[in-house]
Chains A and B, each alone.
Chain A
C-alpha cells in the first residue's frame, strides 16, 4: 500500500509540475504582460520601461524557474495590478468560492437524488421522462442565460433576492442554483441507474418479503447503496464547480476566486492567473488522488496490479 501511495503521489506531483509549466508558457505567450500593465493609452517607451523594471525581458525559462522556486516555498509572487502577494489574495477570495461551490453542490444533490429515486421507481414512465427532462434542462441551458433569467424573475420582478454582491446568505441563492443546476443530470442519472440496479437485487426482494414498509426499503436499504458512486462523483464535481464559478461569479459580482480569475485574465495579471490555475488543478489532483487511494484501500486488486 505504501509503495502504491508513493507512486500515486509522485504521479500527482508530476501532473502539478506539468500544469504549472504549461500555464506559465501559455499565459506568457498569449499576451505581453508589460503592455497589459501599462494600460490602453501607454506609449512604447512606457511599455519598454515597464518590461525592464518587471524583468519580462529575461528568457522565459529563467522566469519560469524563478517562479517555480518561489512557488515551492509558498510564494506565488505579487499581483502586477494589486501589488499584493498572490497567496494573500487567494486566501481572501477562497471562502466565497468555497461557499458558492458547497451550496451549489448541496443544491445539485438535493434536486438530483430525489429526482433519480422517483425516476427509478417507474423506469421509462412519464414520471421518469419528466424527471429526466427537468435535470437535462440544467445541462442544456447556457448557465449565463439561466442566471440572467433568474435575476429578472427573482431580482427585478418579484424582488425576493439581491442581484449582486456577497453580503448575506441570500446573495448566494441564485448563484448556487445557477451553478448547481448544471451538475444535476450527472447525479440524477447515476442515482437513477444505481437505484434501478439495487431495486432489482436479491436483498431488496428479501427486505420487501420481510414486510418492511416501502419507504424503509427505498431509503434505508436501497438508496444507501445506490448513492455510493454519487458521493465519489460529488467530489469530482466540487472541483468542477470551483473552476466553473468564473462565469457565475462574474454575473453576480461575487468576489471569489472565479471573479479574481476573470479580472486577472482580462488585465493579464499573470502571477494571479498562474496561481489560480494551479490551485484549481491542485483541487482536482488532490480529489482524484484521494479517490485513487481510497479505492486501493478498499480493493486490494488495484494496488497489486
Chain B
C-alpha cells in the first residue's frame, strides 16, 4: 500500500519538479552528497553485511589486490606481485612506502595481523564465508607474506580483491571493531572525518594516498553520505537539489527522472543473476517437476526476451548458463538453449503425461509484475501455478524447508568473478540445492579444489552442460541497477555493482 502511494506521489512530484527551477549541485563546494537506502550498521568492514558497507570500505581501506572494473583482471594494489607456491600457499610481495591515515606504516605485520584476526572464529566476523578459507598468514620479511589456505582454494585472489581489506595492526589491536567503526583508519583515498552510525558518514580526500595502486588520487574533495530509507524522499531530495547521487531507482521512476533537465540517469547491468528454480530432486510433493520434460517445457514456455525488454530494461541480458557471463568458468557455449516456444512446451508436457497441465506453487520476492509475467506464460501452456509473493527471508526459509516447488530468486555472487561464488551454492548439496545431482556436485567440487585453470574450466563446463540440459534451473536474466544523479557528475557504472566514488569528478 505504502509503495503504491509512494509511486503515485513521486510521479506527481516529478511532474511538478520539471517545472521547478534547477538546483545547482554541490559542484562549487566540491562535495558529493549521496543517499543510501540501507544503513551500514558498523562501517568496520568485517562487521556489516551490506553492499553499502563495501562501498564505504573501498573508499577508506585497501585490498591486497584489486579488480580492473572493466576487464575484471586481477591487478596489484597493496600487493605488487604474487604467486602460488603450491595448491594452498600464496606468496605476496607488498608495496613499500604506504602510510595509513594515522601515519602508521603499512607492512607485513599489518597483513598478517588482519588475516589472522579475521579468520579466527572467536572474532565473530559476520560473513564467515569470506574469511573461513584462510588457515593463517605468515610474515616472510618486512614486505613479504605467505597466505595458507585450509584446502586448495582457487578463488582466494577474488576474495582478496573486494571483501578483505587491510587494517593497521597497532591501531586495530588497540581499538577493536567498535572504535574502528567510529574512527576508521585505512590506506584508502578517503579518510572518514565524521561517522554517525547509521545516519551520516562524512569523508574527505586523503592527500597522502599512495601512488601506483589500483585507485587513483580522489577527484572530489568531500563526500557526505546520508541514510534515507524512502526512495520517494531520495527522489524528492535529488529534485530539490539536496542530493547529488542516488541508486536503485525503480525503472518507472528512472524513466521520469530522465526527463528532468538538471539530472541524468544511468542504467547498468550488474552481476546479479535471476533464475527460476525447479524441484527436480523431489523435495516437495510436486511429482511433475521430477520429469526433465516438464522442466524443459517450463523453460520453453517463458518468453524471457520479452520480459527483459518490457520489465527490466536497460542493458539486461537473457541468460543461458546459470552464471554471470564474465565469471571464470561460465561457459555459455555448452549451455542448453531454450528459445521461447509454447508449442514445444505443450508437446513436452503432453509427452510427460501432463497434457492438461498440473498445479504447483510458485514463490517470489522481487517485483510482483515480474512474477505475474512468468505466471502468465506458464498459464498459457496449461500449467496452473499459484503465486506466493513474500519477503526475501521468508522465501528463503521456505526454500530451505523443502516447501518451494518452483521459485524466482537471484544471486549476486558477492561480486566475485568466478563461478565458484555461485554454482556450489545451488548444486553442491546445500539447502538451496533442488537438483541433488551427485555428478554435478562432484564436478563442482573438482573445479573448486584446484588452482589449475584448465581442470577447473573442464569441470565447470561439464556441470553447466548438465544443469542446463536437465533444466534444473532456468537462468532468466541479468539485473540492472538504475542510478540517478546531477548532470554535473562524471559517473561510470560497473558490472560488479560497486560504484567507485574516488573515480568520479565534476564535469
Contacts and interface: CB of A to CB of B under 8 A. Distances in A.
B431 A164 contact: no
B128 interface: yes
Contact of B49 (A39, A84, A149, A251): A39
Nearest to B229: A250
A163 interface: yes
Contacts of B198: 82, 255, 263
B150 interface: no
A45 to B, nearest CB: 7
A53 B128 CA distance: 12
Contacts of A268: 393
Which secondary structure characterizes the binding site on chain B?
helix
A162 interface: yes
B128 A165 contact: no
B50 interface: yes
A251 B228 CA distance: 8
B398 to A, nearest CB: 12
B333 interface: no
Contacts of B232: 148, 151, 251
B361 interface: no
Contacts of B140: none
Interface residues of B, number: 56
B129 A46 contact: yes
Nearest to A255: B199
B129 A156 contact: no
Contacts of A238: none
Interface stretch (A28-36, A58-66, A222-230, A279-287): A28-36
A250 to B, nearest CB: 5
Give the interface residue-count category, chain A. Answer: 35 or more
Contact of B226 (A32, A155, A253): A253
Contact of B233 (A82, A145, A163): A163
Given A152-B9, A253-B227, A42 B42 contact: no
Given A44-B430, A162-B242, A164-B233, A253 B126 contact: no
B2 A144 contact: yes
A252 interface: yes
A267 B229 CA distance: 13
Nearest to A148: B9
A162 to B, nearest CB: 7
B41 A152 contact: no
A135 to B, nearest CB: 22
B9 A156 contact: no
A65 to B, nearest CB: 24
B411 interface: yes
Contact of A32 (B10, B397, B412): B397
Contacts of A45: 128-129, 132
A179 to B, nearest CB: 15
B163 to A, nearest CB: 11
B250 to A, nearest CB: 15
A268 to B, nearest CB: 8
Given A151-B232, A152-B17, A157-B19, 9 more contacts: A43-B128, A43-B129, A82-B198, A151-B236, A159-B23, A163-B237, A163-B242, A164-B233, A268-B393
